């Protein structure tokens, strides 16, 4: 069965770039991206550009343009972010049925796990991001919620027959128990919804010349501030408490954090577990996914998922992290 990205050949990529009056030098390098297709394209007598071709059918034009507007707003407020290039008065282009955006090439390295000095600076960066994000809501972008990240994810997995029948009862039971408990914690935990990065893992915060910058706002959405913070923490509880203190010292210089949201860290981790499996399931008709994630669908993967969800249920029983 064909997939829309099958027709996105290197020649079509070059044609798309040159449709915007840019003269390529015919060098196209595919970068490591699955949700969208991302290429570095050489430009005659200029720096290469990064071309991101959006997955057909995922976002509306209005939602993509709202992402671009948010990124531009951050840049205007001097938050270091890789924003799409404004070219011929536009940031979103179309060629042969594909929508794409162009970005400057910006390298860097991901933060070092547990590096307290870096966590302080990352806290400052995320505080600045959220100070802008809290100023007004998204209109076109979706929100992070238990329904779409949790219940809809589980429905995708169950209705698509992705879980082996031998493991289905155990998987469904622990997933439903986890979601019931996450809903209860969400209901009793006050939290303001603000504009977020949405997928703020360390790989999306790059350091170059000792300055961190934010990349890839493709998943920006409304949600609680702690969603952009919890993936910065790793290790034992004691280590995470020390990391959290450094992160918050930097963050609170620019934006006030409500410590009650710390109770949402483990629920959000549980939602991410389910959402990740559902993301793979929803993309399985894209040939890039079976090639890159061959272990998905194997019995061992689902056995590991059952164990991970059980461990996540246990984590919900633990006392949330606290600021001292």
Distance CA(91)–CA(287), nearest Å, equals: 28
Among 6, 11, 61, 199, the one annotated catalytic: 199
Question: Could you confirm whether 228 is annotated as catalytic?
Answer: no
Answer yes or no: 216 catalytic.
yes
Helical spans, DSSP H, in the chain? 10-18, 61-76, 116-133, 146, 152-159, 168-188, 237-251, 265-282, 288-292, 299-317
Q: How far apart are CA 202 and CA 115, in angstroms?
A: 12
What's the rounded Cα separation, in Å, for the pair 214 and 103?
13
The count of C-alpha atoms lying within 13 angstroms of the C-alpha of 126, restricted to the half-sphere facing its C-beta, is: 36
What is the C-alpha separation between 267 and 146, in angstroms, rounded?
9
- Alpha-carbon distance of 64 to 217, in angstroms, equals 10
Q: Are strands 221-223 and 194-196 parallel, antiparallel or unpaired?
A: antiparallel
Interatomic CA distance for residues 227 and 231, integer angstroms: 8
User: Rounded distance, CA 149 to CA 154, Å?
Assistant: 9
Burial of 252 (0-12, 13-18, 19+ CB in 10 A): middle
Q: Write down the catalytic residue from 15, 216, 286, 317.
A: 216
Q: Which helix (H) or strand (E) holds 99?
A: strand 98-104
Largest CA distance in the chain: 60
What DSSP element (H or E) covers 42? strand 37-43
Separation of alpha carbons 220 and 56, rounded Å:
18
List, by residue number, the catalytic residues: 199, 216
């Amino acid at each position: 069965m064909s997939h829309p990205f099958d027709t996105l050949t290197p020649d079509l990529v070059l044609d798309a770039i040159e449709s915007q009056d840019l003269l390529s030098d015919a060098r196209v390098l595919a970068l490591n991206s699955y949700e969208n297709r991302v290429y570095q394209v050489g430009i005659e007598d200029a720096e290469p550009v990064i071309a991101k071709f959006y997955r057909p059918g995922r976002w509306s034009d209005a939602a993509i343009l709202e992402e671009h507007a948010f990124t531009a707003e951050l840049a205007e407020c001097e938050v270091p972010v890789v924003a799409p290039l404004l070219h011929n008065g536009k940031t979103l282009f179309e060629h042969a049925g594909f929508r794409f955006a162009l970005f400057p090439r910006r390298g860097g390295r991901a933060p070092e796990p547990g590096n307290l000095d870096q966590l302080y600076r990352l806290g400052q960066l995320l505080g600045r991001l959220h100070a802008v994000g809290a100023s007004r809501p998204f209109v076109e972008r979706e929100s992070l919620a238990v329904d779409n990240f949790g219940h809809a994810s589980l429905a995708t997995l169950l209705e698509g027959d992705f879980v082996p029948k031998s493991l289905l009862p155990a998987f469904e039971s622990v997933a439903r128990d986890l979601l019931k408990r996450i809903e209860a914690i969400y209901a009793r935990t006050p939290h303001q919804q603000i504009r977020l990065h949405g997928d703020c893992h360390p790989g999306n915060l790059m350091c170059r010349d000792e300055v961190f910058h934010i990349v890839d706002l493709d998943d920006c959405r409304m949600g609680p501030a702690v969603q952009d913070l919890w993936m910065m923490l790793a290790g034992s509880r004691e280590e995470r408490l020390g990391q959290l203190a450094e992160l918050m010292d930097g963050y609170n210089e620019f934006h006030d954090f409500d410590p009650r949201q710390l109770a949402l860290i483990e629920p959000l981790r549980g939602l991410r577990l389910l959402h990740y499996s559902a993301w793979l399931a929803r993309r399985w008709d894209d040939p890039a996914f079976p090639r890159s994630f061959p272990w998905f669908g194997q019995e061992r993967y689902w056995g590991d998922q059952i164990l991970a969800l059980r461990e996540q249920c246990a984590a919900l029983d633990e006392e949330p992290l606290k600021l001292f």
